[in-house]
Amino acid sequence: MQTKPATILIIDDQPATLRSLAQTLQGAHTILVASTGQDALDIARSRSPDLILLDVMLPDISGLDVCRILKADPELNGIPVIFVTARDEAEDEAAGLDIGAIDYISKPFNPPIVRARVRNHLELKHQRDLLERIAMIDGLTGVANRRCFDRTLKNEWRRAMRSADPLALVLADVDHFKAYNDTYGHQDGDDCLRAIARAFEEQTQRSSDLVARYGGEEFVCLLPSTTIDGAGQLASALCQAVRDLAIPHQTSSCGTTVSVSLGVSCVVPHHGLTPDDVLRHADTLLYRAKHAGRNQLVIENFPVSATQAS
C-alpha cells in the first residue's frame, strides 16, 4: 500500500479538463497541473511525480513527444504515463503505447473508472519500486549494493554536471580482512562487515549521501554537493568510527583492532570526464593509503591536469 499520498501530474491545455481531473483525484493524492508540454517537463524534473496523466494535443509540444522525452530520461523513465485524449482512433492509442505509455483514457471520461485505473497503476508502481529497492540492497550488510551505487553515481554525476556542484567519493577497504577471516572465521568476518556498514551509515547524516558495499571488504561513500574538505572530514570520522568499534584483530600489522584504509577524491563533473575516472582516482589514493601503512586516509582533489587532458 502507498505509505504517503502519491503525486500525480495532470497535463492538459483545457482548464475545464484540468479542473475535472483534479477534482476526480483530489483528496487521495497530491495534484500538480501543467497546460504546456514544456511546463510539464519542468515540473516532472523538479517534482518526480508518481504518475502522469497526459493529453495528446498540447499547444507547444505534442503529448507524444513529451512522453518520448520522459522515457528517454534515465531519471524520469520509470514514471507511468496515461494518455487522456478525445482522439480515440486506434492508431493514436497504439502510438502512445508503443512509446511507453501504460494506458489510455478517452474523453469524456468516467470519474470512477479514472480513479480505479489510477489506483491500480499506482499500486503496480509501488510494487515495482519495492522490488527494485530490495534488488538494490546488499544481502549481507543491509546497505546499498554495487548495482545501486553504480546507478546512483550516474544520476548524481548528471545532476552535478548541470549544477556545476562538486561530487566526492570515499573508497574504503578493511585492512587485512583475509587474515581476519583466516583467524576468526567467516561468521565473525560477516559480523565485522555488518558492524562497519552500520558505523558508516551512522556517520553519513544527509539523505543524499550513499553508503554502499563496493565488493568483498570494500565500501564506498558517494557524497553529492560535497567539497574535498567536507569529504575529508567525513572520511576521518569513518576511520575513527571503525577504530571505536574495537573489534579485535590480532593478526593486523597496523594495530590490535580492525581498521580501514580510505581514498578520498572530489571533482566537479564536466563533459570529457567520466565517473570511472574519479573512481580510478579514489582507488589510486586508497592504494597509497594502504602502501603507507594502512589505517589512514589519503585525500586529493581530482588532478586539474588530468581534467584538462580529458
Rounded-to-integer distance, Cα 290 and Cα 106, Å: 64
Rounded-to-integer distance, Cα 117 and Cα 27, Å: 16
Q: Is 266 exposed, middle or buried (0-12, 13-18, 19+ CB in 10 A)?
A: buried
Q: Is 227 exposed, middle or buried (0-12, 13-18, 19+ CB in 10 A)?
A: middle
Cell of 288: 597509497
294 contacts 257 by C-beta, under 8 angstroms: no
81 contacts 67 by C-beta, under 8 angstroms: yes
Cβ count within 10 A of residue 217: 20
Pairing label, strands 81-85, 167-174: unpaired
Q: From residue 299, how far is each of 99, 171, 214, 292 by CA, in Å?
A: 46, 11, 19, 13
Q: Tell me if residue 300 is catalytic.
A: no
Cα–Cα–Cα angle for 169, 174, 176, rounded to 5 degrees: 145
Cβ count within 10 A of residue 292: 12
Which is the catalytic residue, given 201, 217, 218, 300? 217
Rounded-to-integer distance, Cα 300 and Cα 121, Å: 47
Partnered with residue 106 across adjacent β-strands are 85
Taken as a whole, the chain contains a residue count of: 310
Rounded-to-integer distance, Cα 142 and Cα 212, Å: 9
Provide the annotated active-site residues: 217
